[in-house]
Amino acid sequence: MAQREAISTTDAPAAVGPYSQAIRTGELVFTAGQLGIDPRSGELAGDGVAQQAERAIANLEAILVAAGSGLANLVKVTVFLADIDEWSAVNEVYARLIPEPFPARSAFAVKDLPRGARVEIEAVATVARG
């Protein structure tokens, strides 16, 4: 049975409840959903969905790197949006920051996100091989 290892880095917002930033098990890393929160200020990166998406992806990258992975190892991404009409703005940021081949992806409009955020992104990645 594969061991579960909690992943934590100060380069992404700390978990504020009973969850881990990520769990690595075997050759996979599962991240918690990341809002566009700047880990140093503790505040949203801006009011706009594009700014928040950029910061959410930066947070994902920091967590994946701490787990021995990275954005190039993404296999599945889930995007949650407070307003589905903002999808095109998030998609532009995503296409610019996520390397090809693009991972499988789902996107959902949700009623609300924590802290009034516009977007939340979670991911599954493989562990990088040396």
Q: Tell me the CATH number at 36.
A: 3.30.1330.40
Coil/strand/helix, residue 43:
coil
What percent helix, strand, coil does the chain show, rounded to 5? 30, 30, 40
Its domain, for residue 60, covers 4-126
How far is it, in rounded angstroms, from Cα 26 to Cα 84? 35
| Residuewise pLDDT in 10s, the chain (130 residues) | 679 999 999 999 999 899 999 999 999 999 999 999 999 999 999 999 999 999 999 999 999 999 999 999 999 999 999 999 999 999 999 999 999 999 999 999 999 999 999 999 999 999 976 5
76 contacts 86 by C-beta, under 8 angstroms: no
Looking at residue 16, its pLDDT comes to 85
Q: Which of 120, 11, 105 minimizes the C-alpha distance to 67?
A: 11
How many domains is the chain partitioned into structurally?
Answer: 1
Q: Say what the pLDDT of residue 122 is.
A: 98
Number of H helices, E strands in the chain: 2, 7
